[in-house]
Amino acid sequence: MEKPQALAGGIHAEDGTGHDTHGRATTGGKGGTDGGRGSTKYVGAVENAVAILRFLTHHHGPAGVARIARDCGLNVSTSFNILRTLAKEGLVSFDQESKEYRPALGLLEFSVPLLGTSQTDLIRPRLERLSQTHRALIGLWKVTSFDRIVLVDRVVEGRVVRVDMSLGARLPAFVGAIGRCVAATRDLSEAELRRAFDALRWQKTPSFAEYSADVARARSDGFALDRGNLFQGVDIAASAVRDTEGTARLGLSGIAIAGQLDEGELQALARDLHQTAGALSGLLYGRDAGA
């Protein structure tokens, strides 16, 4: 079991100049993004086509125009025109007898550049957006089969005083904000949860009643908060990426110095982490949105 001092040793504060608070040089985040260029406009026809493709790839079977239109929230005429275009491009195929559509081999053309790419590289742009939006360190954690979480990537964007953690840092799977989310995915009795809690080390230990209530809240909200329990002076928000069985496979965390984000900002970060985790659950593991 990790000792408290070992936990504390993996985290320190940095300022926006690329130095930590002890004056040591560190690697800073990237500069500004295009976030200040004004509102972004999206093309509705493209969004509709993507919605149809997502439906066909997650539906696990052929479907007719009426079913596709209904499930995608589109009118039949729009759906028919999009499907006819997708069929022309080889992205869907049409069965003349059943009058149904299904995904076609043309979709593989788009996946070839991603073959062999690690999950971490695919997820990183989402981490960068979260960090830029919420002015916090964003961490990606892998949940291991040995009830540990391992930090496999972390991103800091912008120039703010911030905390940092070392890649490869390991923690017990039930500790901190991510730990509350992981515990929420497990079908544990109160006695089992208590035994797991008693084995954890914190810098500021919550009561079991507080921890149990946080786990229950994470189960309903899809995210959890840790206000100075795991690391004193540090606020953490987190959410879990789950597979089709509901098992937590990855964790997303947002970490900031206590007081740097007000309550509304911390809640907004937590909700954004939850939405991102839900999207990744579908993209990486085929879990239905809202499941």
Domain boundaries, the chain: 4-35+117-285, 44-113
d(CA 183, CA 218): 9
Identical fold, 4-35+117-285 and 44-113 = no
pLDDT mean across residues, the chain = 85
Q: What integer pLDDT is reported at residue 15 of this predicted model?
A: 52
Q: What kind of fold does domain 44-113 have according to CATH?
A: Arc Repressor Mutant, subunit A (1.10.10)
Separation CA 52–CA 56 (nearest Å): 6
Give pLDDT, residue 12. Answer: 56
Number of C-beta neighbours around residue 23 at 10 A: 7
Question: What integer pLDDT is reported at residue 5 of this predicted model?
Answer: 35
Average pLDDT over residues 119-125: 90
Distance (Å, whole) CA 270 – CA 263: 11
Q: Are 274 and 222 in contact, with CB atoms under 8 Å apart?
A: yes
Which whole number is the average pLDDT over 46-62?
88
Q: Which residue has the higher pLDDT, 208 or 27?
A: 208
- Architecture per CATH, 4-35+117-285: 2-Layer Sandwich (3.30)
Nearest-angstrom CA–CA distance, 65 and 80: 6
d(CA 242, CA 29): 29
> Of 176 and 166, which is predicted with more confidence?
176
Q: What is the pLDDT of residues 223-282, one digit of tens each?
A: 999 999 999 999 999 999 999 899 999 999 999 999 999 999 999 999 999 999 999 998
- Say which range, 62-76, 96-110, 191-205, 235-249, has the weakest mean pLDDT: 96-110
